[in-house]
Chain A
Amino acid sequence: MAAPRSTNGTQPAPTEGAPRRAVVVGGNRIPFARAGGPYTRSSNQDMLTAALDGLVARFGLAGERVGEVAAGAVLKHSRDFNLTREAVLGSALSPETPAYDVQQACATGMEAVLGLSNKIRLGQIESGIAGGVDSTSDAPIAVSEPLRRILLDLSRARSTQQKLAAVARLRPGHLTPSAPTTGEPRTGLSMGEHQALTTAAFSLTREAQDEIALASHHNLAAAYDSGFFDDLITPYRGLTRDANLRADTTLEKLAKLKPVFGKHLDTPATMTAGNSTPLSDGASTVLLASEAWAAERGLPVLATIVDAEPGAVDFVHGRDGLLMAGAHAVPRLLARNGLTLQDFDFYEIHEAFAGTVLANLAAWESQEYCRERLGLDDALGSIDRSKLNVNGSSLAAGHPFAATGGRIVATLATLLARKGSGRGLISVCAAGGQGVVMILEAA
């Protein structure tokens, strides 16, 4: 399985002292569910453990000590401070497998892959499992901020008088719990409203967005039917396919949905529940390794992790859209690797919203944007849309925030392995105006 490295890349051949390769051996995820669906009673730890156990089973790692496991969740209970380690302890892996938690909003899974692949390249570990999990059904709920302060003061109070004083500040309104939202702390706008601003700025049409959504569902359904996910998914709690998938959806059905974001803007509202990702529950994992580790076990090598670049934009002052960090990070990654935007066989652009994908593509096609915002001499140009999210993406699969990175890396690595050659580009946007982009090559 361990084919020699493809030589069609423009990367310099590894020289002595240069880092070795980190490869994707495979992946496993549980089917993604919609919030309030079959995983309602499953915690982040339950789902991450299930995803890990499926991976362990696929690659025969029961009882093995893996170099390190890195994973995380965006919506996380404070008791889950050691979520990943706890999942490892509950899994079939050796309890001597160390783990750490990562959190970079929706780019958590990407950052976990990146961190572990770097450790592998440096020779610090031979194998690693990157992952992510999120439950919007089992979300943490905190007490209100005033109540929290009162309770803390109460715990510090020594005298009865101090205790009474603290309790006396309590008001009925304080009892309203504080649930997590997708709102940006610095703007107060939800992610959808932020994307609506970007969608309007790029004048993206409803039809174009619905077409992205339609392709996502049809591509994902076709991938399931072809058995593509037989080696990537392990069923969980009776779910064998992503619950959000609508194989039979049509443009007509999507066109009937009412807009949900951008309703207060001057431009027509175009974002619907159909072309936005739903709140989801799920977990994903990716097995990474050095070539030697994989070869020793006769495990497949699907793809090489070539390089990655994090990005962030100033959305607070409106210079860029919240979910445009990928557009900024990609040119830097391309330049470092001596590639153009057209040098790829697959593009995996996370469909937070159909508008996110279209806005990123439009930014790269725009000479003005590329010059003014990205500091380039010229536009990056357009991509062959038939290479975009060919087996579906988050609009169809759903988007349990931290689990999306692992889903995409495993999917792209499998696509490259099936093709036997070529290169793929991943871009995943995240809250806080962030994003992580990555290049994979067929092994």
Chain B
Amino acid sequence: MSDTYLNLVNNGFTKTLAKRLGLPRPAVLRRHRPGEPLLRGPVLVVHDAASDEAADAVAGQLLEWDVDVHRHADTSEQFSAVVVVLTEVTSPAALGAPLLEVGAMLRGLAPHGRVVTLSRPASGASTATLAAARQGVDGILRSLAKELRAGSTGNGIVLADGVGPTAPSVLGALRFLLSTRSAFVDGQLVQVTSEAGSVPQDWERPLDGTVAVVTGAARGIGAAIARTLARDGATLVVVDVPAAGDALAGVANEVHGSALQLDVTADDAAARILEHVRARHGRLDVVIHNAGILRDKLLVNMKPERWDSVLAVNVTAPLQITEALLDSDALGQAPRIICLASTSGIAGNRGQTNYAASKAGVIGMVQAWAPALTERGGTINAVAPGFIETDMTAKIPFATREVARRLNSLQQGGRPIDVAETIAFLASPQAGGINGETVRVCGQNMVGR
């Protein structure tokens, strides 16, 4: 689980040596601690000529969050973040001024800094010029994120036409991307498709009063998800196979939740989950389909049991359970369903035809079910982790693992908490306008989009 190289280049003599030799030095990422301020230093808000009103609105909101907001780059200042408001940009030529302003201050961006763009989708553009400008932001953001160093990240929020710059999910995404909660989210553009959702009463506990089910919660990413949702206020029901019951009990007791031992592929899995939450809590607000397995083999050597079990756990079970939940009256007022996809499901991976089939299937599933969830006042999304340091990835042979974990802009593997933080955000009331999306938590992995 430990990243020896990362530790060596950040500590003691080997740190000095690495600096002298000019070796790549991945930063030790800063993760969220409850109670810490949103940002440690001032934020610069810049905008293109047409987006001044939107920028004012964003700056006003940042001030409400007690953030020190600057509207002009001051090279003597060290900024903790830059917000680039480009929502009303009209032509590719208009992108130059704000981006060059950003460029001029980038040297003054503090370690673990944040660059967040606000823009609109090219798909909603009425003219080719407008589409070119909007799509240009995509290229800027993805390139800029690759230029940032020292644990800094660059991400964008893409507001559908008609969604204002202070819509709940724009604010929610902005806060998430500015915060240390998004430490391993890099080079991503999060689509906000509606003004649905609401800002939480308490940003530290947005899930207060909600009931959440997490499958595959006995260890690794699932256990981290359970802990993070509990930290954010949710009441947890943790699920895993009976054989993992002892670890599951430990997680349940740690988060003061309850444990349900079941195999998600069992015919009665959905019925038992429903029975449990109905009896104990009366309803269910958040479902995290995290249970997943790997049975890697080249397709040429693939055995039916390897193929079938991966599909059964990773995609058929979430399909069946979600369907049963949608058919039931157990879902709360603003349900949130979040599935685990994978970068393998986006870019493909040698030896993972079965796994990629299941994970790409999950991405298709959340897109297809998004309208059904909108009808119920809820959302369904997926999170696609890249290389995450878990017991599972610790079993990858050394050389392969070392290459896999460096192939991203942050030059390191993520941690289970990074996936959990993104899931907790998508589960929150402030993410109500994000639906049918797949958000990558990959440190801007070089593969796929």
Q: Does B266 contact A (CB under 8 A)?
A: yes
Q: Does B245 contact A (CB under 8 A)?
A: yes
Residue of A nearest to B251 (CB): A57
How far apart are A409's CB and chain B's nearest CB, in angstroms? 20
Q: Does B303 contact A (CB under 8 A)?
A: no
Whether B253 lies near A230 (C-beta < 8 A) is no
A60 proximity list for chain B (CB < 8 A): 252, 256-258, 280
A58 proximity list for chain B (CB < 8 A): 249, 252, 258-260
B256 proximity list for chain A (CB < 8 A): 60, 62-63
Q: Which of A57, A58, A62, A230 has the most CB of B within 10 A?
A: A57
B300 proximity list for chain A (CB < 8 A): none
Q: Does A54 contact B (CB under 8 A)?
A: yes
* Contact pick for B246, options A56, A227, A236, CB 8 Å: A236
Q: Does A315 contact B (CB under 8 A)?
A: no
Residue of B nearest to A59 (CB): B258
What sequence of 0s and 1s flags, for each residue 220-262 of chain B, a beta carbon within 8 Å of any chain A beta carbon? 0000000000000000000000111110111011111111111
> Which stretch from A97-105, A215-223, A284-292, A296-304 is at the chain B interface?
A296-304
How far apart are B150's CB and chain A's nearest CB, in angstroms? 40
Interface footprint category on A? 20 to 34
A297 proximity list for chain B (CB < 8 A): 280
Q: Does B281 contact A (CB under 8 A)?
A: yes
In whole angstroms, what is the CA distance A269 to B65 when docked? 84
Interface size on B, residues (CB 8 A): 24
In whole angstroms, what is the CA distance A263 to B261 when docked? 46
Q: Does B282 contact A (CB under 8 A)?
A: yes
Residue of B nearest to A93 (CB): B253
In whole angstroms, what is the CA distance A329 to B281 when docked? 42
Given A235-B244, A297-B280, 20 extra CB contacts under 8 A = A54-B245, A56-B252, A56-B253, A57-B249, A57-B252, A58-B249, A58-B259, A60-B252, A60-B280, A62-B252, A230-B261, A230-B262, A233-B242, A234-B245, A234-B261, A235-B242, A240-B245, A298-B279, A298-B282, A300-B279
Residues of A at the B interface (CB closer than 8 Å) are: 1, 50, 53-54, 56-60, 62-63, 92, 227, 229-231, 233-236, 240, 297-300
Whether A1 lies near B261 (C-beta < 8 A) is no
Whether B250 lies near A53 (C-beta < 8 A) is yes
How far apart are B388's CB and chain A's nearest CB, in angstroms? 25
How far apart are A223's CB and chain B's nearest CB, in angstroms? 13
Q: Give 23 pairs: A residue, B residue, CB < 8 Å, sorted on A.
A: A54-B249, A54-B259, A56-B252, A57-B248, A57-B249, A57-B253, A57-B259, A58-B249, A58-B258, A58-B259, A60-B256, A60-B258, A62-B257, A63-B256, A233-B245, A234-B245, A234-B246, A234-B259, A234-B261, A235-B242, A235-B243, A297-B280, A298-B279
In whole angstroms, what is the CA distance A230 to B272 when docked? 11
How far apart are B251's CB and chain A's nearest CB, in angstroms? 8
A240-B242 contact given A60-B252, A62-B252, A298-B280, CB 8 Å threshold: yes
Whether B253 lies near A53 (C-beta < 8 A) is yes
B244 proximity list for chain A (CB < 8 A): 235
In whole angstroms, what is the CA distance A69 to B163 when docked? 57
In whole angstroms, what is the CA distance A57 to B260 when docked? 8
B255 proximity list for chain A (CB < 8 A): 62
In whole angstroms, what is the CA distance A385 to B194 when docked? 65
In whole angstroms, what is the CA distance A58 to B256 when docked? 11
A300 proximity list for chain B (CB < 8 A): 279
Whether A299 lies near B245 (C-beta < 8 A) is no
9 pairs of A and B residues whose beta carbons are closest in the complex: A60-B258, A57-B249, A92-B253, A57-B252, A57-B259, A234-B245, A298-B280, A62-B253, A62-B256
Whether B266 lies near A227 (C-beta < 8 A) is yes
In whole angstroms, what is the CA distance A92 to B282 when docked? 25
How far apart are A303's CB and chain B's nearest CB, in angstroms? 16
How far apart are B400's CB and chain A's nearest CB, in angstroms? 29
How far apart are B348's CB and chain A's nearest CB, in angstroms? 36
In whole angstroms, what is the CA distance A56 to B260 when docked? 12
A298 proximity list for chain B (CB < 8 A): 279-282
How far apart are B213's CB and chain A's nearest CB, in angstroms? 13
* Contact pick for A50, options B246, B248, B252, B257, CB 8 Å: B246
How far apart are A328's CB and chain B's nearest CB, in angstroms? 39
Residue of B nearest to A30 (CB): B246
In whole angstroms, what is the CA distance A48 to B242 when docked? 19
Residue of A nearest to B238 (CB): A57
In whole angstroms, what is the CA distance A234 to B218 when docked? 12
In whole angstroms, what is the CA distance A374 to B245 when docked? 46
B260 proximity list for chain A (CB < 8 A): 58
What sequence of 0s and 1s flags, for each residue 267-310 of chain B, a beta carbon within 8 Å of any chain A beta carbon? 00000000000011110000000000000000000000000000
Residue of A nearest to B243 (CB): A240
Whether A299 lies near B266 (C-beta < 8 A) is no
B261 proximity list for chain A (CB < 8 A): 230-231, 234
A299-B252 contact given A227-B266, A230-B261, A235-B245, CB 8 Å threshold: no
Whether A1 lies near B246 (C-beta < 8 A) is no
Whether B249 lies near A299 (C-beta < 8 A) is no
Q: Which of A60, A62, A63, A227 has the most CB of B within 10 A?
A: A60
Q: Which of A50, A63, A235, A299 has the most CB of B within 10 A?
A: A235
* Contact pick for A230, options B242, B254, B281, CB 8 Å: B242
